[in-house]
Amino acid sequence: MWIILRYKKSNFQFLINDLKKKFKNDLEIYNPKFKTNLRVKNKFITSEITLLGDYFFCHHKEFNNSNIINSLKFTKGLKDFIKGYKFSQQDIQDFIKRCRKSENKEGYLTNKFYNLYKNSKFKFNSGLFSNFVFQIINLQKNKINLLLGNLKITTEKEKFVFKSI
């Protein structure tokens, strides 16, 4: 059964190691990420951005037992559980399947994850235009025509990392 956990960012690795010790590596962790180039003071730094912020998915066959879940509440690095996970198992599995389908060879999400539509707005997370908002004018097979302020640009779909706003 899948559960959704909220963690303290400074203790993420400690939390993962602790969970793996408790469940003897029979645990599946999924935290979808984007790899991006951020511009900081005219320099580009490669960084990872998690799709879900400070949440991640965790799967183990014993998570349907509420006593097991209650025993995890005081694990170091864990903030909270998302309630209602028992009733949302199919939705969680569908979301994870969609994420994995849009991953590249390195395991990072690509722009295939987003459903792109005309007139939808996004924000660049990488490249020269990082942190700029754009609107999609037209979609082609491998290219996007977009409007960035008053500037019309055509670019490849896979060239930039962006997020929905």
Question: pLDDT 10s per residue in the chain (165 long)?
Answer: 999 999 998 999 999 999 998 888 689 999 999 887 766 777 777 888 888 999 999 999 989 888 888 888 888 899 988 888 889 999 999 999 999 999 999 999 887 787 778 888 888 777 777 778 889 898 888 888 899 888 898 888 777 677 777
With CA atoms as reference, report the closest residue to 162 among 142, 143, 139, 134.
134
pLDDT on residue 48: 86
d(CA 12, CA 6): 10
Q: Which residue has the tokens 């037992």?
A: 65
Rounded to two decimals, the pTM is: 0.77
pLDDT on residue 103: 92
Q: Which residue has the tokens 């290219």?
A: 143
pLDDT on residue 57: 96
